[in-house]
Structure 1
């Protein structure tokens, strides 16, 4: 409802929270457990999740033969008819007029993307980065930081977590940090996250995973490796005030060596 001047009033404290479905998925550059690069298969898995925001890691853009030198981020955004934010970790020039060779994180959103920036993470070996975005909600907004931490050492992951925690300022009171963290949620090197965020899986109202007959692993949220998951390294962390109605590990249909994780968030309005 608007007042006679056509101005929409700000949401009051009694406004209901805003539902947002979010997916995080390490795509393994579109190569499945059958070793085939199959972007349509990946797009089908993502479409079936019916998410508002999709956070992807290990995405190629004109990277080379392993992904048929295509722009995966652009093709997926077009296939799903959503907006795209891109955060390269590897960004290299190629000869002549060839597109840059890139690899990193992508955010696909059917909600408007208001802000997008990329932050390199410290560490040696394969370059890592964080993609920070602000998406507009109907009556609010949500900061989403997508990342992929190193596999090299816990010490380097701790350095990366310190930078990630610093990216979430007081003005970003409503936010999530998601991605492949290459560590269990209770790992010592993630202590900096636990000071500012809550593990969405642990507080979800409903939980479902792909344990199937492995009853001793039921409701553990394991995502890697896809064929017989035994690690919960793909995670969603939420700031105080965000409720988690449900969390599910999806069937990845063999599209990657990870399984996708979907969370149904209830985001405070007017923030």
Structure 2
């Protein structure tokens, strides 16, 4: 049985140098050739959706789920790019207390797999909020497994490192592709990225591919190479992505 290649990337919305970053993201998708792509911080306006611009002409179906609305008609949310059509999908709000920016999870059925794409609350002091959110994700995973016997793949910016309580709790229930098949620390938000360096935050792994059912046979960082143009250096995003190959074949190496 062939592996399914999946990718997650926080595209940094309309952050710095979007016009220069867009072709870098598109070139990366062509080179990596993933079957499933989860994108976070995706903006959509009346003039169009960032995910549609990223996927234009590359053979992907685009599914979008808003998380929050800003400046009138503009929304920010999560998107899923798939080689085959999505059978059905919905957008579910994640638990957040009053005064905290809304968050959502995009849930889609693609073949025999339920794909969850999400972006958790980011503030350092909101670990308890993220713990509620990962419990919600675990409930969705259990529901998919129990009702339909479906594989589940989570493509997410979890905004917390693997050694935090909320991530340890979640990875006790879903397999972490990087732990299974990656090498090295796998930092996805790091000063090694010039855009992220400006935040003056420590390097850590906060972007994840998790699964229930399929297992990872390969995992590596993606979108790590900057391009210099017009005397400026641009990375595809302020995050590095994670790409991995998943298989449900028990005999696969």
TM tier, smaller? 0.7 to 0.9
Pairing 1:109–2:90 present: no
**Structure with greater helix share of residues:** 2
Query: Residue 259 of structure 1 is aligned with which of 234, 240, 250?
Result: 240
Q: State the 1:54 CA deviation.
A: 0.6
Cα 1:172/1:73, change in 2 over 3 Å = farther
Residue of structure 1 in register with 2:137 after alignment:
164
Is the contact between residue 25 and residue 223 of structure 2 (CA under 8 Å) also seen in structure 1?
no
Residue of structure 2 in register with 1:74 after alignment:
52
Is the contact between residue 5 and residue 36 of structure 2 (CA under 8 Å) also seen in structure 1?
yes
Q: State the 1:19 CA deviation.
A: 1.2
Q: State the 1:77 CA deviation.
A: 2.5
Q: In structure 1, how many angstroms separate the alpha carbons of the residues matched to 2:188 and 2:65?
A: 23
Residue of structure 2 in register with 1:211 after alignment:
none
Q: State the 1:196 CA deviation.
A: 2.3
Cα 1:77/1:91, change in 2 over 3 Å = same
Query: Residue 126 of structure 1 is aligned with which of 87, 95, 101?
Result: 101
Question: Which string of whole-angstrom CA distances, capped at 9 and with x for unpartnered residues, describes residues 225-254 of structure 1?
Answer: 334782100011111x41211000023430
Residue of structure 2 in register with 1:155 after alignment:
128
Question: Which string of whole-angstrom CA distances, capped at 9 and with x for unpartnered residues, describes residues 55-97 of structure 1?
Answer: 000011128xxxxx64212222324221011111013684xxx
**Higher mean C-alpha deviation, range 121-130 or range 85-94:** 85-94
Structure 2 unaligned segments of length 5 or more: list them: 227-234
Match runs of 1:159-238 below 5 Å: 159-168=132-141, 169=143, 170=146, 171-204=148-181, 207-208=182-183, 219-225=184-190, 226-227=193-194, 230-238=203-211
Pairing 1:40–2:15 present: no
Q: In structure 1, how many angstroms separate the alpha carbons of the residues matched to 2:241 and 2:138?
A: 24
**Aligned residue-pair number:** 223
Question: Which string of whole-angstrom CA distances, capped at 9 and with x for unpartnered residues, describes residues 1-53 of structure 1?
Answer: xxxxxxxxxxxxxxxx441000000000153xxx2112223222222221001
Decide which structure has the larger Cα Rg and report it: 1
SS at match of 1:130: strand
Q: In structure 1, how many angstroms separate the alpha carbons of the residues matched to 2:215 and 2:175?
A: 10
Structure 1 unaligned segments of length 5 or more: list them: 1-16, 64-68, 95-99, 209-218
Pairing 1:88–2:72 present: no
Q: In structure 2, how many angstroms separate the alpha carbons of the residues matched to 1:127 and 1:172?
A: 30
What RMSD in Å do the two structures reach over aligned CA positions?
Answer: 2.2
Cα 1:156/1:77, change in 2 over 3 Å = same
Cα 1:223/1:191, change in 2 over 3 Å = closer
